[in-house]
Structure 1
Amino acid sequence: MKILHQLGHNCNWGLDTHFDNEIGDGFIFTAYSFDCAKMGQTISRRKSADYLPLSMIDLQFYGNKNSTGGKLATYPFHPINNRRDKTSVGGIEKIQAAVTYQQRLGFKKIIIPFFYLEEQNLNKTIKLISRINKNVRLTHGYEYYMTIPFANESIKNEEYVELLLQAITDINIEFDGYYIVCDSNPGYKKKVSVDFNYYTNLLKVFATLNKQGFKTIHGYANWDAIVFNALTNIDFVSIGTFENLRNFNITRFTEKISGGPSDGWYYSEKLMNFIKAKDLTQFRNTGTLDMIRNDRNAFSDIILDESFAWSTQKPDVHKNYLLAISRFYERMRAQKDIKKRASYVLEKVYKARELYERLATDHKVFLMDESSDYHLDTWAAFIQRNILM
């Protein structure tokens, strides 16, 4: 498992943590945030010779001609330009142009962009993937990863997932692997899903592709990727700063939406969760801050200092997460045996749950909503069930 920074707004934070702090193994640039002409140039003081060999780019065709926002229109082959260009070429030609663009820039791992299609259009999805497989030129010297975007209703539909997997693992498929992005739809006042169908079916996607010899990239991965990586081998997992880089949502590419105000969040390895900045007051008042503090993490020490003025726009808030989650993944990938890795993660989940209980019982620290342990029972049950299978 290699760890890739999903880069978007304030990309310098991800670039800096890699080059200055040795966090992560590479990058996934997102077209929404990067001008077409900028790619291959110096970005945030980093020369192309430094970042390109470690990088991929997600050209984000998800919204097709209904796409909107960001820098997408700067890519002449992006379907967002279909609305203005009545002579526009078809979808396969645009996908081929996207592949050629990546090759010319010097990317060695090519993400083949794909459109998001509604669940009822499964047959159309399968036929289009087959056409791409047959008609897009996959020249030697590159690895090709076909994009598969899952809507929340699609990933929870067992029949949909099964039929799609049959198609994308067909013996005639030429792709080296798949770039998987999935809308987990965490729900109200939650940051990760607690839906068993989401975990079951997305694990099936990764596990099946792995067994069939395809490489996989988990794009827009949230920290619930811990669960999937505990139970199967995923070749690349992304880490991101802002939530829109950790939680895929098709709406972002078809509607203009903005995030609400936030002072920021503290990611605690020991609680396996993000804690609201304002909730840290409880820990200070009860002398329990060290119980959730990330060890050997300079960014954690900075933001837990009482004088720190919290803001989600401050890089150390995000760098704490990037360092903490990447270290956890590194410890996971050191466990080559799947059952041992799953047991290691399960033990961490139990310890996190016990820490929540101890904080509440012994110290009267009560955490609500996103800061609570709402997800840990689901994670424990899911991992335990799959260890026994």
Structure 2
Amino acid sequence: MKVFHQAGHQTIWNLESFREDNTGDGVIFSPVHFASERLERIVEQEIKEVSLFDPQFYVPDSQKSKLHSYDFFPEKIMNGFSTNDYEAVAYEAAKLCLDFQVRNDFESIIIPARYFPELISDYVTQQKKHFVDPFLAAVERENIDKKVFLTLPMTAMMLMDEEFKTNLLNWVTAYPEIDGVYLLVNFNEPTKQLQNFAKFKSYLEFIQGLMEAELSVICGYCNTEGIIVAVLDVYAVTIGAYENTRGFSIDKFLENDQERRGPAPRIYLPKLLNWVRWDTAEEIREDLPGLWEKIYTPTEHSEGVIASGQRPHFSQPLLYKHHFKLLADQYSEIRGLSMSDRITLLQEKIIEASKLYEEIEDNRVIFFDSNCKGEHLPVWNRILRHLRTAL
């Protein structure tokens, strides 16, 4: 199982973490955040060779300027995207996009896809004629000797609809030329950690269906629940910095001039299997040093923040690099274990995290928001129980 950085805003942090801390096995580059010329010019070839490029056709008429630096992006190649007319340029766009990925010698080829927020009846038809068929034709024509992954952007509603999910599985698994799926799911959850049992269970069942058809699965835009997904020994999971790289949505591809207040800084505490507001972490560190020692796992990055004596800002890199390093370590810990042993280890970690949360509560610490609490842990524990039952 590989661990890719899900790049986004400030991709340089991912690259620095990969180079300097040896976190992860590569990077999934995001063109909406990284212009074409910059990607080709400043990223070392040895990094590209172990990395992937996500063409990000999710919103084909996106006005984001960096996407327009890629000559194959639908809005760019058509000088104004139109669904009805795209078929006329689909093969040209596929060739240009494939040429870009081959020229940069990325580890594998990713076929793009469009995101649909609803359960539309022609989902498969549109993906097939606009993206999959043109790309596979280009791959065959160029005689490409790389793994080929099909992007599959989904909603939780799609996962929960058995007929729709079955149709997707039947379609995707019918291509002998496709080696795997780059799976992205918009869970549309109000919480930062995935807490909906039915959605999580359907997600894992869909992954298992793909793997039973001998398809490799890259689970994109993972948050901490990726360590539960890793029980299935998928081809790859991801780690990201900002929240929009740890949960899939199309917001980043839309023009929005409305100012948003920046999020409160948080620190990842692996023993709690969660991110906690920095202010609460600082409160525990100062007032309850014995408890802090139990819940805190230091890195040079988090120690640097503490040593500065300043409250960190969400736009600074150190706490994200701290997260990359510790989550990558957690993935390394379960690599090489059997599925049964992975489940056992993670159940033990969930029990330990629950006990630590109880101790925090016993010490009358009040969290600023519910996302800092361990409310996801019972759901994850139940998910693991179901996975064990299926062994």
What TM-score do the two structures reach when normalised by structure 1? Answer: 0.90
Is 2:8 the partner of 1:8? yes
Cα shift at 1:70: 4.6
Q: Which residue of 2 aligns with 1:330?
A: 332
Residue 235 (structure 2) aligns with: 235
| 3-state SS in 1 of match to 2:184 | strand
The separation in 1 between residues aligned to 2:34 and 2:64, in whole angstroms, is 12
Unaligned runs of 5+ in 2: none
Shift of residue 133 of structure 1? 4.6
- 2-structure distance, mates of 1:126, 1:338: 36
C-alpha distance in 2 between matches for 1:306 and 1:157? 50
- Trace 1:168-187 onto structure 2 (pairs within 5 A): 168-170=172-174, 172-187=175-190
Kept after mapping to 2: 8 A contact 1:268/1:274:
yes
1:258-337 correspondence to structure 2 within 5 Å: 260-283=261-284, 284-287=286-289, 288-295=291-298, 297-305=299-307, 307-335=309-337, 337=338
Question: Which segment drifts farther, 240-249 or 90-99?
Answer: 90-99
Indicate which of 128, 133, 145 corresponds to 2:149.
145
Q: How does 1:360-371 map to 2 (within 5 A)?
A: 360-361=361-362, 363-367=363-367, 368-371=369-372
* Contact residue 148 and residue 180 of structure 1 kept, 8 A: yes
Aligned residues: CA RMSD: 2.2
| SS of residue paired to 2:127 | helix
* Equivalent residue, structure 1, for 2:100: 101
Aligned partner of 1:167: which letter? W
1:385 is the counterpart of 2:386: yes
1:200 shift after superposition: 1.3
Inter-partner Cα distance in structure 1 for 2:73 and 2:371:
36
User: Could you report, residue by residue, the CA deviation over 1:77-101 in whole angstroms, capped at 9, with x for unpaired residues?
Assistant: 1112335378864334423321222
**Against the structure 1 CA distance between its residues 259 and 93, is the aligned structure 2 distance closer, same or farther, given a 3 Å change threshold?**
farther
d(CA) in 2 for partners of 1:320, 1:262: 18
Overall identity of the aligned pairs, in %: 23
Q: Which amino acid aligns with 1:347?
A: E
- 1:151: Cα distance to partner? 2.0
* Deviation sequence 1:315-374 (CA, Å, 0-9, x none): 111111001100000111131x1111111111111110111012212x222334111111
What do the CA deviations read for 1:110-169 (whole angstroms, capped 9, x no partner)? Answer: 111111124332433256337755443222321111100012322333332222112111
- The aligned runs of 1:20-99 (5 Å cut-off) are 20-43=20-43, 48-65=44-61, 67-81=62-76, 82=78, 84=80, 89-99=88-98
Q: TM-score with structure 2 length normalisation?
A: 0.90
The count of aligned residue pairs is 377
CA distance in 2, matches of 1:222, 1:133: 28
* Structure 1 residue 194 corresponds to structure 2 residue 195: yes
Q: Please, which runs of 5 or more residues in structure 1 have no aligned partner?
A: none
Q: Is 1:222 matched with 2:206? A: no
SS across alignment from 1:182? strand
Per-residue Cα deviation, 1:17-58 (whole angstroms, up to 9, x for no partner): 111111111111001011122222114xxxx32322121111
Q: How many angstroms apart in 2 are the aligned matches of 1:201 and 1:85?
A: 34
